[in-house]
Structure 1
Amino acid sequence: MRQTGIPHPRLPLPAPGREDDPARFLAWLAEAIPMVEHLGIRSMRREEEQLIWALDLTPSLNDKGTGFGGALAAQTALLGWCWATLWLRRHSMARDVVVAEASQRFLAPVTGDYRLVCLPESDDGPVALAEQIADRGRGRIALVQQLWCGHTLCLEARGNYVVLPAG
Protein backbone atom coordinates (compact mmCIF):
# COMPACT_ATOMS: atom_id res chain seq x y z
CA MET A 1 0.00 0.00 0.00
CA ARG A 2 1.39 3.38 -1.02
CA GLN A 3 1.90 6.01 1.65
CA THR A 4 1.80 9.77 1.23
CA GLY A 5 5.25 11.38 1.09
CA ILE A 6 7.15 8.14 0.56
CA PRO A 7 8.55 7.61 -2.96
CA HIS A 8 7.90 4.28 -4.62
CA PRO A 9 11.07 2.27 -5.36
CA ARG A 10 12.35 2.67 -8.91
CA LEU A 11 12.09 -0.19 -11.35
CA PRO A 12 15.64 -1.45 -12.04
CA LEU A 13 17.02 -0.22 -15.35
CA PRO A 14 16.98 -2.70 -18.22
CA ALA A 15 20.31 -4.15 -19.32
CA PRO A 16 22.23 -1.80 -21.65
CA GLY A 17 20.88 -2.04 -25.18
CA ARG A 18 17.64 -3.67 -23.99
CA GLU A 19 14.18 -2.20 -23.72
CA ASP A 20 11.72 -2.48 -20.89
CA ASP A 21 9.22 -5.31 -21.00
CA PRO A 22 5.92 -3.40 -21.47
CA ALA A 23 3.91 -5.69 -19.19
CA ARG A 24 6.52 -5.43 -16.41
CA PHE A 25 6.67 -1.64 -16.75
CA LEU A 26 2.86 -1.33 -16.62
CA ALA A 27 2.70 -3.59 -13.55
CA TRP A 28 5.31 -1.40 -11.81
CA LEU A 29 3.44 1.73 -12.91
CA ALA A 30 0.21 0.44 -11.34
CA GLU A 31 2.07 -0.08 -8.06
CA ALA A 32 3.78 3.32 -8.23
CA ILE A 33 0.65 5.25 -9.26
CA PRO A 34 -2.42 3.45 -7.83
CA MET A 35 -4.96 5.06 -10.19
CA VAL A 36 -3.23 3.40 -13.18
CA GLU A 37 -4.97 0.07 -12.54
CA HIS A 38 -8.30 1.89 -13.07
CA LEU A 39 -7.45 3.56 -16.40
CA GLY A 40 -8.30 0.66 -18.67
CA ILE A 41 -4.85 0.33 -20.25
CA ARG A 42 -4.89 -2.94 -22.23
CA SER A 43 -1.44 -2.75 -23.79
CA MET A 44 1.57 -0.57 -24.43
CA ARG A 45 4.01 -0.68 -27.32
CA ARG A 46 6.69 1.47 -28.89
CA GLU A 47 7.07 2.16 -32.61
CA GLU A 48 10.22 4.18 -33.29
CA GLU A 49 9.71 7.40 -31.29
CA GLN A 50 6.01 6.75 -30.61
CA LEU A 51 4.63 5.25 -27.41
CA ILE A 52 1.15 3.78 -27.91
CA TRP A 53 -1.46 2.64 -25.41
CA ALA A 54 -4.64 0.70 -26.24
CA LEU A 55 -7.39 1.52 -23.74
CA ASP A 56 -10.90 0.44 -22.81
CA LEU A 57 -13.40 3.29 -22.60
CA THR A 58 -15.56 1.83 -19.80
CA PRO A 59 -13.41 3.03 -16.82
CA SER A 60 -13.44 6.58 -18.23
CA LEU A 61 -17.13 6.95 -19.07
CA ASN A 62 -18.92 10.17 -18.20
CA ASP A 63 -22.62 10.74 -17.50
CA LYS A 64 -23.32 10.99 -21.26
CA GLY A 65 -21.79 7.58 -22.04
CA THR A 66 -18.70 9.03 -23.73
CA GLY A 67 -15.15 9.68 -22.53
CA PHE A 68 -14.82 11.86 -19.42
CA GLY A 69 -12.51 14.76 -20.29
CA GLY A 70 -10.75 14.77 -16.92
CA ALA A 71 -9.85 11.09 -17.17
CA LEU A 72 -8.66 11.50 -20.75
CA ALA A 73 -6.54 14.52 -19.80
CA ALA A 74 -4.94 12.55 -16.96
CA GLN A 75 -4.18 9.71 -19.36
CA THR A 76 -2.48 12.04 -21.85
CA ALA A 77 -0.32 13.59 -19.13
CA LEU A 78 0.65 10.17 -17.81
CA LEU A 79 1.44 8.82 -21.28
CA GLY A 80 3.84 11.74 -21.82
CA TRP A 81 5.47 11.01 -18.47
CA CYS A 82 5.84 7.37 -19.50
CA TRP A 83 7.37 8.37 -22.86
CA ALA A 84 10.01 10.50 -21.11
CA THR A 85 10.66 7.91 -18.39
CA LEU A 86 11.03 5.05 -20.88
CA TRP A 87 13.29 7.18 -23.12
CA LEU A 88 15.58 7.80 -20.13
CA ARG A 89 15.55 4.10 -19.23
CA ARG A 90 16.56 3.15 -22.81
CA HIS A 91 19.51 5.51 -22.35
CA SER A 92 20.44 3.93 -18.98
CA MET A 93 19.39 6.94 -16.92
CA ALA A 94 17.36 6.63 -13.73
CA ARG A 95 15.96 10.15 -13.38
CA ASP A 96 12.80 11.79 -12.16
CA VAL A 97 10.43 13.29 -14.71
CA VAL A 98 7.76 15.89 -13.96
CA VAL A 99 5.07 17.50 -16.07
CA ALA A 100 5.78 21.23 -16.30
CA GLU A 101 2.90 22.22 -18.55
CA ALA A 102 0.00 20.41 -20.22
CA SER A 103 -2.93 21.39 -22.43
CA GLN A 104 -5.66 19.55 -24.29
CA ARG A 105 -7.99 20.22 -27.22
CA PHE A 106 -11.10 18.06 -27.31
CA LEU A 107 -12.08 17.55 -30.96
CA ALA A 108 -14.77 14.84 -30.94
CA PRO A 109 -16.51 12.65 -28.36
CA VAL A 110 -14.81 9.39 -27.46
CA THR A 111 -17.47 6.77 -28.12
CA GLY A 112 -15.56 3.49 -27.93
CA ASP A 113 -12.27 1.88 -27.02
CA TYR A 114 -9.34 3.99 -28.19
CA ARG A 115 -5.62 4.36 -28.54
CA LEU A 116 -3.36 7.09 -27.26
CA VAL A 117 -0.20 7.93 -29.20
CA CYS A 118 2.64 10.02 -27.78
CA LEU A 119 5.53 11.41 -29.81
CA PRO A 120 7.99 14.30 -29.67
CA GLU A 121 6.59 17.60 -30.90
CA SER A 122 9.69 18.05 -33.08
CA ASP A 123 11.86 15.43 -34.75
CA ASP A 124 14.98 16.76 -33.03
CA GLY A 125 13.36 16.73 -29.57
CA PRO A 126 15.06 13.54 -28.31
CA VAL A 127 18.49 14.69 -29.57
CA ALA A 128 18.02 18.09 -27.94
CA LEU A 129 16.95 16.41 -24.68
CA ALA A 130 20.07 14.22 -24.68
CA GLU A 131 22.26 17.29 -25.29
CA GLN A 132 20.57 19.26 -22.49
CA ILE A 133 21.07 16.41 -20.02
CA ALA A 134 24.73 16.01 -21.06
CA ASP A 135 25.42 19.76 -20.85
CA ARG A 136 23.32 20.81 -17.84
CA GLY A 137 22.35 17.61 -16.04
CA ARG A 138 18.66 18.26 -16.72
CA GLY A 139 16.43 18.81 -19.73
CA ARG A 140 13.00 19.46 -21.17
CA ILE A 141 11.07 17.94 -24.05
CA ALA A 142 7.77 18.90 -25.68
CA LEU A 143 5.52 15.93 -26.44
CA VAL A 144 2.23 15.56 -28.30
CA GLN A 145 -0.44 13.03 -27.37
CA GLN A 146 -3.25 12.08 -29.74
CA LEU A 147 -6.33 10.08 -28.82
CA TRP A 148 -7.78 8.09 -31.71
CA CYS A 149 -11.16 6.37 -31.64
CA GLY A 150 -10.98 4.29 -34.82
CA HIS A 151 -9.91 6.74 -37.54
CA THR A 152 -11.20 9.81 -35.67
CA LEU A 153 -8.84 12.11 -33.82
CA CYS A 154 -10.83 12.94 -30.68
CA LEU A 155 -8.24 14.70 -28.51
CA GLU A 156 -4.89 16.32 -29.05
CA ALA A 157 -2.74 17.24 -26.07
CA ARG A 158 0.66 18.84 -25.62
CA GLY A 159 2.95 18.76 -22.66
CA ASN A 160 6.39 19.88 -21.56
CA TYR A 161 8.20 17.27 -19.49
CA VAL A 162 11.22 18.10 -17.38
CA VAL A 163 13.99 15.64 -16.56
CA LEU A 164 15.34 16.62 -13.15
CA PRO A 165 19.03 16.52 -12.20
CA ALA A 166 20.37 13.27 -10.78
CA GLY A 167 20.52 13.11 -7.05
Structure 2
Amino acid sequence: MTDRDCLSAEGLEAVLHRDIPLTREMGVKVLGWQDHQLRLHLPLAPNVNHKNTLFGGSLYCGAVLAGWGWLYLRLKEAGIDDGHIVIQDGLISYPLPVTRDGVAICDAPDQASWEKFVKLYHRRGRARLTLHTRIVADGSEETAVEFVGQFVLHR
Protein backbone atom coordinates (compact mmCIF):
# COMPACT_ATOMS: atom_id res chain seq x y z
CA MET A 1 0.00 0.00 0.00
CA THR A 2 1.44 3.38 -0.98
CA ASP A 3 1.37 6.50 1.19
CA ARG A 4 -1.18 7.96 -1.23
CA ASP A 5 -3.45 4.94 -0.70
CA CYS A 6 -3.22 5.40 3.08
CA LEU A 7 -4.64 8.93 2.77
CA SER A 8 -8.04 7.67 1.60
CA ALA A 9 -10.96 6.36 3.63
CA GLU A 10 -10.42 2.95 2.05
CA GLY A 11 -6.72 3.06 2.86
CA LEU A 12 -7.33 3.87 6.51
CA GLU A 13 -9.93 1.12 6.74
CA ALA A 14 -7.41 -1.38 5.36
CA VAL A 15 -4.81 -0.22 7.90
CA LEU A 16 -7.30 -0.50 10.78
CA HIS A 17 -8.44 -3.98 9.75
CA ARG A 18 -4.84 -5.17 9.25
CA ASP A 19 -3.18 -3.58 12.29
CA ILE A 20 -6.09 -3.63 14.76
CA PRO A 21 -7.98 -6.89 14.02
CA LEU A 22 -10.73 -6.05 16.52
CA THR A 23 -11.99 -3.46 14.02
CA ARG A 24 -12.95 -6.25 11.59
CA GLU A 25 -14.97 -8.03 14.27
CA MET A 26 -16.66 -4.76 15.25
CA GLY A 27 -17.54 -4.10 11.60
CA VAL A 28 -15.89 -0.67 11.65
CA LYS A 29 -16.04 1.14 8.30
CA VAL A 30 -14.46 4.45 7.41
CA LEU A 31 -17.23 6.69 6.09
CA GLY A 32 -15.07 9.62 5.12
CA TRP A 33 -12.09 11.89 5.59
CA GLN A 34 -12.96 15.40 4.52
CA ASP A 35 -11.88 18.86 5.70
CA HIS A 36 -9.87 17.19 8.48
CA GLN A 37 -12.92 15.44 9.88
CA LEU A 38 -12.95 11.65 10.19
CA ARG A 39 -16.21 9.69 10.33
CA LEU A 40 -16.37 5.99 11.26
CA HIS A 41 -19.40 3.70 11.03
CA LEU A 42 -20.08 1.47 14.06
CA PRO A 43 -22.79 -1.08 13.21
CA LEU A 44 -25.20 -2.10 15.95
CA ALA A 45 -25.42 -5.84 15.16
CA PRO A 46 -21.86 -6.95 16.04
CA ASN A 47 -21.69 -4.47 18.95
CA VAL A 48 -25.11 -4.93 20.55
CA ASN A 49 -25.57 -5.36 24.29
CA HIS A 50 -28.33 -6.92 26.42
CA LYS A 51 -30.42 -3.70 26.10
CA ASN A 52 -30.29 -3.77 22.27
CA THR A 53 -28.09 -0.67 22.21
CA LEU A 54 -24.44 -0.23 21.22
CA PHE A 55 -22.23 -1.74 23.93
CA GLY A 56 -20.31 0.84 25.97
CA GLY A 57 -16.99 -0.89 25.33
CA SER A 58 -17.61 -0.78 21.58
CA LEU A 59 -18.47 2.91 21.84
CA TYR A 60 -15.22 3.53 23.73
CA CYS A 61 -13.26 1.61 21.09
CA GLY A 62 -15.01 3.53 18.31
CA ALA A 63 -14.18 6.85 19.95
CA VAL A 64 -10.51 5.90 20.40
CA LEU A 65 -10.32 4.57 16.84
CA ALA A 66 -11.72 7.82 15.45
CA GLY A 67 -9.02 9.79 17.27
CA TRP A 68 -6.27 7.34 16.31
CA GLY A 69 -7.44 7.32 12.68
CA TRP A 70 -7.68 11.12 12.59
CA LEU A 71 -4.11 11.45 13.82
CA TYR A 72 -2.86 8.73 11.45
CA LEU A 73 -4.35 10.47 8.39
CA ARG A 74 -3.29 13.96 9.45
CA LEU A 75 0.28 12.81 10.04
CA LYS A 76 0.35 11.19 6.59
CA GLU A 77 -0.82 14.48 5.07
CA ALA A 78 1.96 16.30 6.94
CA GLY A 79 4.56 13.84 5.64
CA ILE A 80 5.28 12.41 9.09
CA ASP A 81 5.58 8.64 8.92
CA ASP A 82 8.32 7.77 11.41
CA GLY A 83 6.23 7.67 14.58
CA HIS A 84 3.96 5.38 16.56
CA ILE A 85 0.55 6.55 17.80
CA VAL A 86 -0.72 5.41 21.18
CA ILE A 87 -3.60 6.48 23.39
CA GLN A 88 -2.32 7.70 26.74
CA ASP A 89 -5.52 8.75 28.46
CA GLY A 90 -9.21 8.95 27.67
CA LEU A 91 -12.32 10.30 29.31
CA ILE A 92 -15.75 9.30 28.03
CA SER A 93 -19.35 10.13 28.87
CA TYR A 94 -22.49 8.44 27.59
CA PRO A 95 -25.35 10.97 27.83
CA LEU A 96 -27.64 8.98 25.48
CA PRO A 97 -27.97 5.34 24.44
CA VAL A 98 -27.22 4.52 20.80
CA THR A 99 -30.16 2.40 19.63
CA ARG A 100 -29.05 1.94 16.02
CA ASP A 101 -25.78 2.09 14.08
CA GLY A 102 -23.43 4.78 15.34
CA VAL A 103 -21.12 7.27 13.68
CA ALA A 104 -17.89 8.27 15.47
CA ILE A 105 -16.73 11.74 14.44
CA CYS A 106 -13.34 13.29 15.18
CA ASP A 107 -12.79 16.91 14.23
CA ALA A 108 -9.47 18.70 13.97
CA PRO A 109 -8.06 20.45 17.02
CA ASP A 110 -7.36 24.16 16.67
CA GLN A 111 -4.50 25.02 14.32
CA ALA A 112 -2.25 26.34 17.09
CA SER A 113 -2.45 23.03 18.98
CA TRP A 114 -1.66 21.08 15.82
CA GLU A 115 1.34 23.27 14.98
CA LYS A 116 2.68 23.02 18.54
CA PHE A 117 2.28 19.21 18.41
CA VAL A 118 4.20 18.92 15.11
CA LYS A 119 6.96 21.29 16.25
CA LEU A 120 7.43 19.40 19.52
CA TYR A 121 7.52 16.05 17.72
CA HIS A 122 10.18 17.25 15.28
CA ARG A 123 12.27 18.65 18.14
CA ARG A 124 11.92 15.89 20.76
CA GLY A 125 10.62 12.81 18.93
CA ARG A 126 7.58 12.70 21.20
CA ALA A 127 4.47 14.85 21.45
CA ARG A 128 0.94 14.74 22.90
CA LEU A 129 -2.28 15.88 21.27
CA THR A 130 -5.76 16.08 22.74
CA LEU A 131 -8.54 15.04 20.36
CA HIS A 132 -12.30 15.21 20.83
CA THR A 133 -14.59 12.54 19.41
CA ARG A 134 -18.36 12.38 19.51
CA ILE A 135 -20.65 9.53 18.56
CA VAL A 136 -24.10 10.06 17.15
CA ALA A 137 -26.78 7.59 16.14
CA ASP A 138 -26.79 7.11 12.37
CA GLY A 139 -29.07 9.74 10.83
CA SER A 140 -28.91 12.03 13.87
CA GLU A 141 -26.60 14.86 14.86
CA GLU A 142 -27.46 14.61 18.57
CA THR A 143 -24.36 13.65 20.54
CA ALA A 144 -24.80 10.34 22.36
CA VAL A 145 -21.17 9.88 23.43
CA GLU A 146 -18.43 12.41 24.16
CA PHE A 147 -14.77 11.40 24.34
CA VAL A 148 -11.60 13.34 25.03
CA GLY A 149 -8.40 11.44 24.34
CA GLN A 150 -4.75 12.23 24.89
CA PHE A 151 -2.77 10.69 22.03
CA VAL A 152 1.01 10.38 22.01
CA LEU A 153 3.22 10.16 18.96
CA HIS A 154 6.74 8.83 19.58
CA ARG A 155 9.65 7.63 17.46
- TM-score, length basis structure 1: 0.82
- Unaligned runs of at least 5 residues, structure 2: none
Q: How many residues are aligned here?
A: 152
**Cα distance in 1, alignment partners of residues 128 and 25 from structure 2:** 29
Query: Alignment partner of 1:99: what SS?
Result: strand
C-alpha contact 1:120 1:141 (8 A) present in aligned 2: no
Distance 1:69 1:115, change over 3 A: same
Distance 1:46 1:21, change over 3 A: closer
Q: Give the structure 2 partner of residue 146 of structure 1.
A: 134
C-alpha contact 1:73 1:104 (8 A) present in aligned 2: yes
Identity percentage of aligned residues: 24
* Deviations, residues 70-105 of structure 1 (Å, cap 9, x unaligned): 111011112111111111111122111110101100
Q: Give the structure 2 partner of residue 86 of structure 1.
A: 73
- Unaligned runs of at least 5 residues, structure 1: 1-10
- TM-score, length basis structure 2: 0.88
The Cα RMSD (Å) is: 1.8
C-alpha contact 1:44 1:54 (8 A) present in aligned 2: yes
1:39 aligns with 2:37: no
1:29 aligns with 2:16: yes
Which consecutive aligned stretches of 4+ in structure 1 deviate over 3 angstroms post-superposition? 120-123
User: Which structure shows the higher helix fraction?
Assistant: 2
C-alpha contact 2:12 2:69 (8 A) present in aligned 1: no
**Cα distance in 2, alignment partners of residues 45 and 125 from structure 1:** 23
